[in-house]
């Protein structure tokens, strides 16, 4: 006999209510967390409260990233807030907290499907300019794998134009594969990163030197002074493309330098040309609290003075052997090869107490791959195809500070930091 429906207790199944992520970033100081949660409590009312669903906080070297997921809760039979009303309330709250604390406070909508499937992805499209077909192709590719574009914002208009698409739905590998085809066909750069606090909690970066931080290859310049440039260039190209073991190729190239006077190192160093945007990238990240370093398959006689000039926190490279004022054609100490670069990143992060998932590595050659994959985010910069295919993401713009947009920093934030 069926039960009398009138005798059933009221359903306790939750109504669909809007959710949002409130993210606070900036230099840590006392009272920020208390101020945010006080504002959340005060933003509720007798009939519509705001409930905290999840909290995550990271402080690294004085830089705070605090994320609070909240939802609207209807009380005493009241109708729940619709999403626009809820987000408007949170926008007012964000302004109040930002004014009171001097922090940056951002509010992002989080829908239930996105919450169940993870927080989606940021897709960053970069170009000079961004061709319309790149945005159209990205949008089609996202839809083709079942994703949805929830928001679009401009990150920068100089030196590159970049847009950030916030995408819900879609699996990471399928998304990267689909967008890689769009990038190849349109000439735009398209980077993909998971949405979440981890993106803005990065606090350490290491850069390769030759063809990344500086233009060209130092060893090619040295070989030119020894009259062996063509021979060394062939070996360098093969090593960077992954066709030769790096340590063996390095020893072979260094052997061609035997007999060069040590003064040549100073001459080559003085002629180095930094990649456009290198100083801006380092200056901005240091002021944002990052630890910055270089890890190179090149030579300490070049990289150590460069690190000092740029105010870097860390440098690792090989050391050329010198005897009687001339290069011997040999090396001294541990070889910084492909595995050595990854070990240097791990050592650098450990020295500063920074987890690897909060690190960034940037490089262009096959010998950078272990380092790129060990970092929380590995960026192939104007890299060989072999490297681009295996890195987390790739940039083919000529400006090194485009890395800032991949990290989610807007042009205004860069200007504020410089």
Residue of 111, 210, 337, 401 marked catalytic:
210
Cβ within 8 Å of residue 215, ≥6 positions away: 272, 273, 274, 275
- Do 239 and 384 touch, CB atoms closer than 8 A? no
Cβ within 8 Å of residue 329, ≥6 positions away: 254, 255, 256, 257, 258, 259, 321
Largest CA distance in the chain: 104
Task: Report the run of H or E that residue 403 belongs to, with start and end.
Answer: helix 403-406
Residue of 111, 208, 337, 401 marked catalytic:
208
- What is the distance of C-alpha 275 from the center of its chain? 18
220 in catalytic set: no
- Do 333 and 253 touch, CB atoms closer than 8 A? no
Specify which residues 197 forms β-bridges with: none
- Do 24 and 58 touch, CB atoms closer than 8 A? no
Nearest to 191, CA basis, from 404, 34, 9: 404
54 in catalytic set: no
Quote the DSSP letter at residue 77: T
Q: Which residues are catalytic?
A: 208, 210
């Amino acid at each position: 006999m069926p039960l009398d429906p009138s005798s059933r207790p009221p359903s306790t199944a939750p109504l669909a209510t809007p959710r949002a992520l409130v993210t606070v970033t900036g230099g840590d100081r006392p009272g920020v967390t208390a101020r945010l949660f006080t504002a959340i409590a005060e933003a509720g009312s007798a009939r519509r409260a705001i409930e905290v669903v999840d909290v995550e906080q990271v402080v690294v070297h004085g830089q705070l990233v605090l994320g609070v997921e909240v939802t609207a809760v209807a009380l005493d039979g009241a109708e729940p807030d619709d999403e626009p009303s809820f987000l408007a309330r949170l926008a007012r709250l964000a302004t109040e907290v930002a004014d009171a604390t001097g922090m940056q406070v951002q509010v992002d909508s989080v829908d239930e499907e996105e919450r169940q499937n993870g927080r989606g992805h940021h897709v960053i499209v970069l170009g000079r300019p961004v061709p319309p077909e790149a945005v159209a192709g990205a949008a089609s590719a996202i839809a083709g794998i079942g994703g949805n574009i929830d928001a679009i914002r401009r990150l920068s208009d100089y030196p590159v134009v970049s847009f950030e698409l916030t995408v819900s739905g879609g699996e990471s590998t399928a998304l990267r594969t689909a967008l890689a085809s769009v990038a190849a066909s349109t000439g735009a750069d398209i980077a993909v990163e998971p949405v979440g606090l981890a993106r803005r909690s990065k606090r350490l970066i290491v850069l390769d030197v030759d063809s990344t931080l500086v233009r060209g290859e130092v060893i090619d310049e040295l070989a030119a002074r020894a009259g062996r440039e063509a021979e060394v260039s062939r070996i360098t190209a093969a090593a960077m493309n992954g066709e030769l073991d790096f340590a063996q190729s390095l020893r072979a190239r260094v052997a061609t330098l035997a007999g060069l006077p040590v003064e040549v190192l100073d001459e080559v160093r003085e002629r180095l040309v930094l990649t456009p945007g290198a100083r801006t990238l380092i200056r901005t990240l240091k002021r944002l609290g990052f630890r910055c370093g270089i890890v190179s398959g090149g030579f300490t006689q070049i990289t150590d003075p460069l690190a000092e000039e740029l105010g870097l926190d860390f440098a690792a490279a090989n050391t050329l052997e010198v005897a009687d004022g001339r290069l011997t054609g040999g090396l001294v100490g541990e070889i910084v090869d492909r595995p050595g670069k990854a070990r240097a990143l791990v050592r650098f992060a450990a020295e500063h107490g920074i987890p690897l998932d909060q690190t960034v590595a940037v490089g262009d050659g096959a010998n950078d791959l272990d380092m790129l994959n060990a970092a929380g985010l590995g960026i192939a910069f104007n890299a060989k195809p072999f490297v681009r295919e295996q890195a987390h993401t790739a940039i083919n713009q000529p400006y090194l500070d485009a890395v800032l947009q991949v990290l989610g920093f807007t042009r205004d934030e860069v200007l504020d930091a410089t």
